[in-house]
Structure 1
């Protein structure tokens, strides 16, 4: 009789106890439900993708038809109005009002213009904020293209710019209309001197005898097309874009730029869809480019699909053709993943089967949980204590815990790993606290340094420009200029300084000039006047700007008298032989234009006839005297002492009556 010794059953590992039962149940459950869901998913996704893409394509095509028809409708209206004598191409003011009204009536039009065969041009464009500007080129503008801002009534308000060398007859939109002799679209091109791409609807203007008078044009910016595409909802991550058949982007729902700007030449270079910065647009365009022969023959809706980055993409291609010169393709791209939510029925079946498997897993889990509940509970309590300490900012105290190493192999390894993790966390926590303190100190030091540099920059800017102008320039980098109805300008020149400079060391000469002008600067600040500039030994100051000043003429007069007094202290100190130097001052009151122009080495300056006359008053005066115009004299004669010089010849003005400012009348105390 043989005895069979049953070998001892080896201890089961935790991995086998937990994984095998759950794996068996989940495999059975998902094996059944997966087959059912897969059978219906493909059909549902294909149907839904097709319906969505066709609907979006039709909507885009319908909207684009409206966009593209509007510019030609505007041109037809304008040509009919000219042929019927309702408007005249020679009446610029009437054309301005007419085009301004048209932009109000056609909100999708970005620009409406007319170029004449004689070189004249009138156009009205809409900015992004809704404001309207006029572009005018005629004899009245000295054959320069002037750009004017308008108010909400269509009246000119401000001249923005003026440029030479603009001829509408050589622009692409004009040439294509003249060549076609009928309504036609231009190629997509960049606006003259700007950074925007447009496509122009153009129509020749002919007189009753058929002679060409000019071209009517209405623009549609590609930005408006992209903005419309961006409003469409195409699944979750679907996109749409429009391309020409040659592959160049027209518009895209991602709102990315469809061109590259050459800042130096202010020119634009269009972007191929296959070189787009958006990965979905780029991959779709490259896929279509590989089917170039097929794409060139598309004349109706066509649906394709391809894989990009292991992800399937559904593509709907719809032609957008206008016989007047438009041949575009509307491309709608939707990832297959966007339609996963549409198969809820399969999901419900999957959840039901999963719940059944879960109930069975719970029963088995209860049995196995008895073996491992207590050691896992201890690990859980230790973890909770650490987490609670982290929430209450006391993690360093809770990290001193240590759990007991269990006899079960897997739990023992887990306990050892847990203890090692706590030790690592403790070390990391200490290192992190030290690093945080160092970083906070560095941030404080860097912030203080940045604030100090900012204050220095502000001080330097205020030494160059008046504070209101500096604030305006920081807010708006365009040219700043404003007309002031009345200011008083003073020009001063050091008489005798030139022969003195020939006898002095250059360093001493600059020191002397700096001492004089520093006194003048203090006087300008005392009387709240604005120093404009110094040129050599000449000094220019103005009262009444950039902020209004009622007593600007009196302040200038007081400064002029004090400048004379200040110069007397130099008479005895800087004599060279029998020569000395005196100050010659000229003053005038009138209107000026003041502002800052250019983009480098800013200077606040004045322009206008009043400035020239003030300069003539100084240059035609005598040393040690203050010569003023009749305008300044009328402002000051009640409170200041004058002597009439009489008529003198002034360059560019003929004979002018001028006066010598001698001093200030004493104040009469009427109380006594």
Structure 2
């Protein structure tokens, strides 16, 4: 009964008119043909008469094995495009060729609530709808050619008397629009056109004189603007560079963009204080200029170490040097970076040439903890730190020994696996009572100091 229904369905498709020679067929997702508008039957070895017997088995025809060349090529084109009929989930259009002729194919899924999931395919030869278009195109071209010939003949007749003088003025106007002001047109014998030519020639001369004067003034103005812009650019670069020398890059950029730099809280940072031992007595024995030059040499070397390890110099007070790691940009290795800088500062002071006529020693203190950082004030401002962690770092320096690096227990816990540290023991710290501190002696074997920039 199902086979008979499919045959009847195919008879229905064959009665549909699709263009002149268009065809259609319906298939399942498996590729088995359901019906076709051609005379081909959707079964292999279709019998002369279908007998409605339950035991009768008829094998369905796969569309790629169709004897109809158009049906076969259309199904192959769909498979080449989608690889499987299951992948066709929406309407699509394709193009294929059979025996040198182009065909268009339209495929669309058909589903209903009873479980039907078919693909409806329609193929139309390109020639079916192009023949009429080509015929209309030829007729249109012939009409256009006839109209063009008539217009040309009329234009030639009109130009002999009127159009040519107007065209000369038009051509001159186009040249002026392109920047060529050296235009003068011939005066026509026709009174109206002659007056128009005279007015045009006078206007062109005045326009050229005015434009020449404008060009001269514009060149002078551009030269002045360019000179002034260059000066302003140089001043802006100097100001920005000066600001970057005073503040961290992120803070300077924020100030330039918003004119604001609120204080920020950092959960963890490592602060280093360093002080040259005996500097007060040295300053009393040598000339001020020599003192400042020597101090500048030492602090410049410290600045290079700050840059090397990606740290932030906060300030110098006399012979004291303050630097911090972990802000304004947070980083996980801030404690290690500070330790590396402290060891390099210590090594530099041991190897530096005799600056003030005697050997120099440095005392360094380090602490790790939360801080507040920011810029306050509106004049002669600096980027500074506040908090108990800063005070403790300062105490580590002031309670230390010449030539030693003293660290707190918080810093020790961060460094113990990669650095050599020795317990100093418990010391009395002003304002804090007794505190356990350690001496930072060096890096463990195999641990290298690495630059972050």
Deviations 1:606-661 (A, max 9, x none): 11100000001111111111111111111112222222222111111111111111
Q: Measure the CA separation in 2 of the matches of 1:379 and 1:650.
A: 105
Larger Rg: 2
Match of 2:398 in 1: 619
For residues 384 and 668 of structure 1, the distance between their equivalents in structure 2, rounded to whole angstroms, comes to 84
Tell whether the 8 Å contact from 2:418 to 2:447 is kept in structure 1 after alignment: no
| 8 A Cα contact 1:649 1:656, kept in partner | yes
Deviation at 1:395, TM superposition (A): 3.2
Q: CA deviation at 1:464?
A: 1.2
CA contact (8 A) 2:181 2:204 kept: no
What are the Cα deviations for residues 350-409 of structure 1, in whole angstroms up to 9, with x where unaligned?
xxxxxxxxxxxxxxxxxxxxxxxxx99999767644432233x14324x2336479999x
- SS of 1:525's partner is helix
The partner residue of 1:422 within 201, 204, 207 is: 204
3-state SS of paired residue (1:396): coil
Aligned-pair CA distance for 1:667: 2.1
Deviations for 1:91-117, whole angstroms, at most 9, x for unmatched residues? xxxxxxxxxxxxxxxxxxxxxxxxxxx
1:469 matched to 2:255: no
- The answer to whether the aligner puts 1:650 opposite 2:434 as a matched pair is no
- Aligned match of 1:389: 175
Paired residue for 1:539, among 321, 326, 330? 321
Find the counterpart in structure 2 of residue 565 from structure 1.
347
Cα deviation, residue 561, structure 1: 1.2
Alignment CA distance shift 1:497-1:376 (3 Å): farther
Instruction: Rate the CA distance shift 1:405–1:606 in 2: closer, same or farther, 3 A.
Output: farther
Distance apart, 1:450 and its partner CA: 4.0
Q: Could you say which residue in structure 2 is the equivalent of 1:507?
A: 289
Once the two structures are superposed, what CA deviation does each residue of 1:291-323 show, in whole Å capped at 9, x if it has no partner?
Answer: xxxxxxxxxxxxxxxxxxxxxxxxxxxxxxxxx
1:162-181 alignment runs, 5 A limit: none
Residue from 485, 492, 496 that aligns with 2:274: 492
Tell me, yes or no, if the aligned pair for 1:586 and 1:619 is still in contact at 8 Å.
yes
Tell me if structure 2 keeps the 8 A contact 1:642–1:662: yes
Q: Secondary structure of 1:540's match?
A: strand
Do residues 666 (structure 1) and 445 (structure 2) align?
yes
Specify whether residues 442 and 402 from structure 1 end up closer, same or farther in structure 2 by C-alpha distance, changes over 3 A only: farther
How far apart are residue 420 of structure 1 and its match? 3.7
What is the CA distance between 1:498 and its match in structure 2?
A: 1.1
Question: Quick check: 2:375–2:382 contact (8 Å CA) kept in 1?
Answer: yes
Aligned to 2:214: 432
Counterparts of 1:477 and 1:438 in 2: how far apart (Å)? 36
8 Å Cα contact 2:427/2:435 also seen in 1: yes
Q: What TM-score does the superposition give when structure 2 sets the normalisation length?
A: 0.57
Q: Which residue of 2 aligns with 1:525?
A: 307
Matched residue, 1:482: 264
Structure 1 pair 624–598 and aligned structure 2 pair: CA distance change class (3 A): same
What TM-score do you get using the length of structure 1 for normalisation?
0.39
Contact 1:628 1:659 in 2 (8 A): yes
Pair 386,443 (structure 1): closer, same or farther in 2 beyond 3 Å? farther
Residue 169 of structure 2 contacts residue 197 of structure 2 at CA under 8 Å; is this kept in 1?
A: no
Matches within 5 A, 1:250-329: none
Q: State the Cα distance separating 1:572 from its structure 2 match.
A: 3.7
Mapped partners of 2:226, 2:447: distance in 1:
62
1:629 corresponds in structure 2 to 408
How far did 1:447 drift? Answer: 4.3
CA pair 560-403 structure 1, distance change in 2 beyond 3 A: same
Deviations 1:122-172 (A, max 9, x none): xxxxxxxxxxxxxxxxxxxxxxxxxxxxxxxxxxxxxxxxxxxxxxxxxxx
Distance change in 2, residues 1:401/1:479 (3 Å):
same
Q: How many residues align?
A: 289
Determine if contact 2:408/2:436 at 8 Å carries over to the other structure: yes
1:88-167 → structure 2 map (5 Å cutoff): none
Aligned counterpart in structure 2 of residue 401 of structure 1, from 185, 197, 205: 185
Relative to structure 1, is the Cα distance of residues 589 and 574 closer, same or farther in structure 2, using a 3 angstrom cutoff? same
RMSD: 3.2
Gaps of 5+ in 1: 1-374
When residues 644 and 476 of structure 1 are mapped into structure 2, their CA distance, relative to the original with a 3 A threshold, is same
Note if contact 1:501-1:509 (Cα within 8 Å) is conserved in structure 2.
yes
| Aligned mates of 1:519, 1:627 — CA distance in 2 | 21
Aligned to 1:480, the other structure's residue is in SS state coil
Residues 294 and 355 in structure 2, CA contact (< 8 A), matched pair in contact too: no
Q: Could you list the runs of 5+ residues in structure 2 that have no partner in the other structure?
A: 1-160, 449-453
* C-alpha separation in 2, matches of 1:560 and 1:536: 19
CA distance in 2, matches of 1:546, 1:610: 16
Q: What is aligned with 1:588?
A: 367
8 Å CA contact 1:583, 1:624 repeated in 2: yes
Say if 1:598 and 1:532 are closer, same or farther in 2 by CA, change over 3 A. same
How far is the alpha carbon of 1:440 from its aligned partner?
A: 4.7
Distance change >3 Å, CA 419–CA 572, structure 1 → 2: closer
Question: d(CA) in 1 for partners of 2:336 and 2:280?
Answer: 31
| Counterpart secondary structure, 1:563 | helix
Distance 1:475 1:394 in 2: 43
Q: Would you say the 8 A contact 2:187–2:194 is kept in 1?
A: no
Is the CA contact 1:473–1:480 (under 8 Å) kept in the aligned structure 2? no
